[in-house]
Amino acid sequence: MIPPAGPILAVRGLAKSFTLHLHGGAQLPVVTGVSFELFPGECVVLGGPSGAGKSSILKMIYGNYLAGAGEILIRHEGAPVNIAAADPQTILAVRRRTMGYVSQFLRVIPRVPTLDLIAEPALAVGLSRAEAMARATALLTLVNLPERLWHLPPSTFSGGEQQRVNIARGFAGNHNFLILDEPTASLDAANRDAVISLINARKADGAAFLGIFHDQDVRDRLADRIIDVSTFAPAAKKAA
Amino acid sequence: MTKPLLIADGLTKRYGAVTACDKVSFSLDEGEVLAIVGESGSGKSTLLNMLACRLAPDMGEVRYRMRDAETRNLAGLSEAERRLLMRTDWGFVHQDAAQGLRMNVSAGGNIGERLMAVGGRNYGGIRQAAADWLSRVEIDTARMDHKPTTYSGGMRQRLQIARNLVTSPRLVFMDEPTGGLDVSVQARLLDLIRGLVADMGLAVVLVTHDLAVARLLSHRILVMKNGHVIETGLTDRVLDDPQAPYTQLLVSSVLAA
């Protein structure tokens, strides 16, 4: 449980621009001056049109994209870590214990059974095999994945089933801060509801969420605040 | 913060006018998996061989934190000390399993030999350890007394891994461990390696030209070209947001399956 006071994430003056060396060094400005805070128990949604840089912001916060400028401060085990300047070992420790990521697509090692995939993040934070398996089973039940699929690798599952495996895996580490990049895009209404309850339950426990949801209904039911990313457009992008 | 397990400091190797490896420095922590990627001729194998004491550098040194917690320059070890290190605390997995195995000795013998080299004398105990390791790498123990010549490529590779890990090393060098295997065999081997590395908390220096292998196994990447380190960082960061022109070329040249 994390203390309710103080943000778990503080982003200050974050900027990103891609340099395309294979295309004559062309500059592709994405965002600039991104500043906001995220508090425990809160779900903040990034809004704005496609191409506004929502995903790029999430990826910088996770350390997956290199920040061009600015700070990304995450409260990790009681002390702030600046992801924009941290070394790889520190970023990996933050990912193991504090910050999780649920992407739109499942990307895992082939031929590993679903249960093992879900248990992996739980094992990584030090749970015993039995505890990790119990957590994996509980999560797969919560996301309504049929039990006959649990011992199979997910490569042949439907889009919606894979997405639910992805969500269960994302929640298995019990992180205080979860990044959600369109995790409900290919789910039907019933399964969307299941995922929303899962997120709300973790929020009530004090976990913080930062996400992108295109579905208006999902957004309305989850978002405490919406940040319009188009206000962070660089001048060069505004002109274009 | 514990000290690094392995430190490469300015490693340089020249072959005539060609610089195979130019002042390469990095450090590796316990339990960390570092992938060295680059095309053939980039110097990645030369670097690996210098790290593993299989090739003397022209300049620079490798330092290693021994089991007694003292960090030592490997060039200063006696031949006996170095041999002991390679047999106990280190492993080396070759691309061609035949290089890492004794092909005319049984599978059980291949595993047992490493234990005997560190003083194991109890026949029953050694045989039991060999059997345990065969099942851990998913080889039927009924095949224990067969020679690796009768094994498939994937089985040989798994046997080579068992032979290396039986002494519970802290550091394993791997040179294209999944190279030359069928794709289906590769996936299973990758999963096995990943599980063993996590369970045993192994540090690994992995040389590969396959970026997908680097993504699945490594925490950090070092990109090499013409003997130079072009870019280094968190594996998914380097692959998803490469900064150097050469890394961008390398990443964008991979065919998506």
| CB contact A22 to B (< 8 Å) | yes
Q: How far apart are CA B40 and CA B58, in angstroms?
A: 21
Count CB atoms within 10 A of the CB of residue B30.
Answer: 15
For residue A37, give the H/E element and its range: strand A26-38
- Alpha helix locations (H) across chain B? 44-51, 79-88, 97-100, 107-117, 123-136, 153-165, 183-200, 211-217, 235-240, 245-252
What average pLDDT score do residues A93-114 get?
Answer: 88
Mutation pick from A62, A109, A123 vs chain B, by most beta carbons of B within 10 Å, is: A109
**Contact: A64, B241; criterion CB under 8 Å:** yes
The answer to whether the CB of B120 falls within 8 A of the CB of B133 is no
**Contact: B248, A91; criterion CB under 8 Å:** no
| CB contact B244 to A (< 8 Å) | yes
**Contact: B241, A59; criterion CB under 8 Å:** yes
Looking at residue A107, what is its pLDDT? Answer: 77
Give the tens place of pLDDT for each residue, A160-217: 899 999 999 999 999 999 999 998 888 888 899 999 999 999 999 999 999 999 888 9
Q: Which residues pair with B8 in a beta bridge?
A: B26, B62
For every residue of A72-106, DSSP letters joined together read: EEEEETTEEEETTT--HHHHHHHHHHTEEEE-SS-
Between strands B71-73 and B59-65, the pairing is antiparallel
Residue of chain A with shortest Cα separation from B187? A110
Q: Which residues of B touch A20 (CB under 8 A)?
A: 248
Looking at residue B185, what is its pLDDT? Answer: 84
Q: Which residues of A touch B237 (CB under 8 A)?
A: 63-66, 88
Q: What are phi and psi of A120, to 5 degrees?
A: -55, -50
Mutation pick from A55, A83, A89 vs chain B, by most beta carbons of B within 10 Å, is: A89
Residue of chain A with shortest Cα separation from B186? A110
- Give the Å distances, CA to CA, from A167 to A85, A114, A138, B31: 28, 12, 13, 27
**Contact: B236, A20; criterion CB under 8 Å:** no
Looking at residue A2, what is its pLDDT? Answer: 47
Looking at residue A239, what is its pLDDT? Answer: 59
Give the tens place of pLDDT for each residue, B125-163: 999 999 999 999 999 999 999 999 999 999 999 999 999
| CB contact B5 to A (< 8 Å) | no
| CB contact A79 to B (< 8 Å) | no
The answer to whether the CB of B7 falls within 8 A of the CB of B71 is yes
Dig out the tokens for A13 from the structure.
């003056």
The answer to whether the CB of B239 falls within 8 A of the CB of B227 is no
Q: How far apart are CA B41 and CA B209, in angstroms?
A: 11
Determine the distance in angstroms separating the CA of A193 from the nearest CA of chain B, rounded to an integer: 32
Looking at residue B120, what is its pLDDT? Answer: 79
Dig out the tokens for A203 from the structure.
């929020």
Q: What are phi and psi of A127, to 5 degrees?
A: -70, 150
Determine the distance in angstroms separating the CA of A204 from the nearest CA of chain B, rounded to an integer: 32
Give the tens place of pLDDT for each residue, A110-130: 778 999 999 999 998 889 999
Amino acid at A141: T
The answer to whether the CB of A173 falls within 8 A of the CB of A125 is yes
| CB contact B3 to A (< 8 Å) | no
Choose among A64, A109, A112: nearest Cβ to B236.
Answer: A64
From the number of C-beta atoms within 10 Å of its C-beta (0-12, 13-18, 19+), residue B14 rates as middle
Q: How confident is the model at residue B180 (pLDDT cuts 50, 70, 90)?
A: confident
Q: How far apart are CA B129 and CA B115, in angstroms?
A: 9
Q: pTM for the complete prediction?
A: 0.92
Q: Give the distance from CA B41 to its chain's centroid.
A: 19
The answer to whether the CB of A22 falls within 8 A of the CB of B249 is yes
